[in-house]
Amino acid sequence: MKGRLTALLLAILMATMSMTGTTMAEDSGRQMDDVDCSGYTFEDLFEYDNAVFMFQILDDWQSSDLYANSWVNESRASTVRENLDGLFEGFPGGNNSWISTDERDAVREIGAKCIADMYTRIGIREGIPHRGGVDWNDVEFVEEGIGLEEVDLIPEGHPEERSCAGRYAFASTDCQEVPTSATNNLEISMFVKDGETHNSRFNKLPNSGQSDFTVAMNATNVTSATMVFTFPYVDGMRMANWTIQDETTSSDGTVNVVENLNAGSIEEIFLPDGSVRVKMTIGYEKSDWPMIRNVFFDMTTSPPETNDFPVWTSNEPADDTIIPILRGEGIGNEVVAITGETMADWAFDNDAWGLDCEFDGGGWSSRMNSDGELLVTTGNTMTSDAICHLVDPYGATSNASHTWRFGQPAAFDTTSNGPYTDSVDIEATNTLMVQNIALSINAIQGGANGVATSINLGSTSATGSVSLSGISPGEFNIYIVATSPGMLDWHAELDIYGCCEKKNTPPVIMVNMDQIEGTYATWSSDGYSFSLSGTAIDPDGGAVSLSATMCGETTNSFTQNGDTWIVSLSIAKCVAQGLTTQYDVELSVTDSVGAISTESISIPDPYASDNSGTDIVDDTSEEESGLPNLGMFATIVAMLGAALLLRKD
């Protein structure tokens, strides 16, 4: 039973080097809280199409973050669903070729506990390079730090999806299920749970990466995966060597180990902040089972025998170039001064390179981060010059350097306090680092950009009116692009005190009138319904929803095409209530933030002179759920009959 349950959990809960599984007590209570998944790895019982694993050792050199994401396609996805359903054999709705949201939720509930028992397949060993046969410092999972998520295990909108509420004992009221034969692709991931700092750990390395160590990973049954190892910054750390070894045991018990570099590849990646990543791509054919496959790579801080110095490419800015920054809160504020994309072609090195800048302003400093950005901490002067060299991961520094000036070229403010309706006036003031600045200013909100306003800024302040067209009601920011000779292009998202919020403008709804007939309604040929049409707009540019209420009945069945709409309204409910001379309609439009506008119109009945005094049966009782009862069918027949009599010439 333990193996079957573990298989099931392994299949859905995780795509990490050792995924999930679980057990259920087989006593009369059938409890699911006694989970024991020790001895299992994900690949033992579950085959994915592809997976990505990212293992990051944290600064304390004893905790780590293991992220995993796997993709399961078509027939393999169906197998996952079948295995999961089989896990619940003996439970209502279990092992019946249907996989339900209740079964999915039960697996989620015990997933972290199960994973915590399993192998990560990762080990570390200090000292000279190691290749097995030693006591490894194994990485293990931390239950409270494990976060799990799956996508489309129960695919929405599946043509055979059905409710399982009431179908099985103890099923939840919103239970849904699909056949396990469903081949919809699914995705499984593991990550650090919100509020936690790590989801795996190992015994602290006494050397904290300052001297040699080896990382080992068991890749047996890892069908197709990419594994990325990231280490904290240690001066001079690099990968010295790597290998892949396959191990088989002959019939007489002899263990044979051979090197097989064709089974995968390893790439060393130096990050601009000096830290190192090792990226491994590995695979394993099922036909090779039970052959064992292990991967080893050795890390060292010993300098390489040869090392090229980083060199400038002549694409870098000339001396005295202005490097624009947004100072933010001023002294001690760290900001992105140069993006990795901007300086990607400024220099070259066989490994990697970054900028090492020395500032002449008090309190100014800089550092490179792992994204290749130069981060600058502002000091107690408004600007500062800096001499910048190139430096590689092994400390080799370029002979040539450049001197640049860092500071904020312009300041920005609003001329009035918000919230705003159609536009906001932005005042720009040159700080005189450069003489003239060409500014492009627009509102920005999430992924939406407003219309840009251009300003030519000289030695005196200038104000531009920034349109809020295309910006939804609520908070927004101001984005500027500034260019000037002798200055890097400046892209900044401003944080202006008191700015910025757009006021909501209520939506507007209008009903079309036939100018010749002087009527709003277009009646159907049988006289039992009429249609209305018109326009509905949100002045703020958002989407709107529509409804119409007549004789106590509300419909949202509008046909919308851009700003125009049309709706058809039946008079059956009105006739049943004896309302046959005039139909009062209230039209309602709601914008994206919930503001509502209404329009009321009265539609005279063109047949009113023919049906004066006619009595109509009124029975508006309804069942809350299920099929209509006999009384409702009788009411509908009476209503239709009355309508026919009223329309009879």
Indicate the burial class of 633 (C-beta count within 10 angstroms; 0-12, 13-18, 19 or more). exposed
Q: Check whether 417 has a pLDDT greater than 90.
A: no
Q: Indicate if the pLDDT at residue 350 is higher than 70.
A: yes
Give the best-scoring range by mean pLDDT among 2-6, 387-391, 449-453: 387-391
pLDDT, residue 110, reads: 79
Domain 410-502, CATH 3.40.50.2020 — does that match?
Answer: no
Q: What is the CATH number of domain 311-407?
A: 2.60.40
Provide the pLDDT for residue 434.
Answer: 95
Flag the least confident range among 48-57, 94-103, 613-622. Answer: 613-622
C-alpha 234 chain-centroid distance: 32
592 pLDDT more than 60: yes
Give me the pLDDT at residue 10, please: 36
Average pLDDT over residues 551-556: 92
* pLDDT at res. 498: 64
- The pLDDT tens digits of the residues spanning 245-293 come to 999 999 999 999 999 999 999 999 988 888 899 999 999 998 998 999 9
CB 219, CB 211: distance < 8 Å: no
Fold for 508-610, please state it. Answer: Immunoglobulin-like (2.60.40)
The percentage of the chain sitting over the pLDDT mark of 90, rounded to a whole number, equals 60
Among the listed ranges 35-49, 102-116, 490-504, 616-630, which one has the minimum average pLDDT value?
616-630
The answer to whether 556 and 545 are in contact (CB under 8 A) is yes
Q: Per-residue pLDDT for 633 more than 90? A: no
Mean pLDDT of 529-552: 92
Q: How many residues does the chain have?
A: 649
Nearest alpha-carbon partner for 599 in 544, 523, 559: 544
* DSSP secondary structure letters along 72-89: E-HHHHHHHHHHHHHHTT
d(CA 595, CA 634): 40
Element (H, E) at 52: strand 50-57
Classified as helix, coil or strand, 262 is helix
Sorting pLDDT into bands at 50, 70 and 90, what band is 80? Answer: confident
Tally of CB atoms within 10 A around 525: 6
State the average pLDDT over residues 567-596. Answer: 91
Q: What is the dihedral of CA 361, 363, 367, 369, to 10 degrees?
A: -130
Helical H segments across 287-397, by residue range? none
Evaluate whether 325 touches 244 at the Cβ level (below 8 Å): no
Residue-averaged pLDDT of the chain: 85
477: pLDDT strictly greater than 60: yes
pLDDT digits (tens, 9 = 90+) for 229-256: 999 989 889 999 999 999 999 999 999 9
Q: Report the chain's C-alpha Rg in angstroms.
A: 35
pLDDT given at position 50: 92
User: pLDDT tens-digit profile of 132-178?
Assistant: 888 999 999 999 999 988 899 999 889 999 999 889 988 898 899 99
Whether the CB-CB separation of 9 and 107 falls below 8 Å is answered with: yes
Q: Is 115 helix (H, G, I), strand (E, B) or coil?
A: helix
408 vs 482: CA distance, rounded Å: 11
Q: What stretches of 317-436 adopt beta strand conformation (E)?
A: 322-324, 334-338, 347-348, 354-359, 365-368, 374-377, 383-391, 402-407, 410-414, 423-430
Q: How big, in percent rounded to 5, are the helix, strand and coil portions of the chain? A: 10, 40, 50
Q: Mean pLDDT highest for which of 13-27, 73-87, 430-444?
A: 430-444
What are the E-state strand segments in 398-489? 402-407, 410-414, 423-430, 437-445, 448-449, 453-457, 462-467, 474-475, 477-483
pLDDT digits (tens, 9 = 90+) for 425-448: 999 999 999 999 999 999 999 878
Domain ranges of the chain: 2-256, 311-407, 410-502, 508-610
pLDDT surpassing 60 at residue 466? yes
Listed in sequence order, the residues at least 6 apart from 133 whose beta carbon sits closer than 8 Å to its beta carbon are none
Rank 77-81, 263-267, 496-500 by mean pLDDT and report only the highest.
Answer: 263-267
DSSP string, 466-512: EE-TTPPSEE-EEEEEEE-TTB--EEEEE--TT--EEPP---EEEE-
Taking the C-alpha atoms of residue 189 and residue 12, their distance in angstroms, rounded to an integer, is 9
**Shared fold status for 410-502 and 508-610:** yes
The phi and psi torsions of 78 (rounded to 5 degrees) equal: -65, -40
Confidence label for 330 from pLDDT (cuts 50, 70 and 90)? low
Q: Which tokens is 393 given?
A: 């991961």
Tens digit of each residue's pLDDT (9 = 90 or more) over 198-233 = 999 999 999 999 999 999 999 998 989 999 999 998
Tell me what pLDDT residue 36 has.
66
φ/ψ of 296, rounded to 5, equals: -130, 140
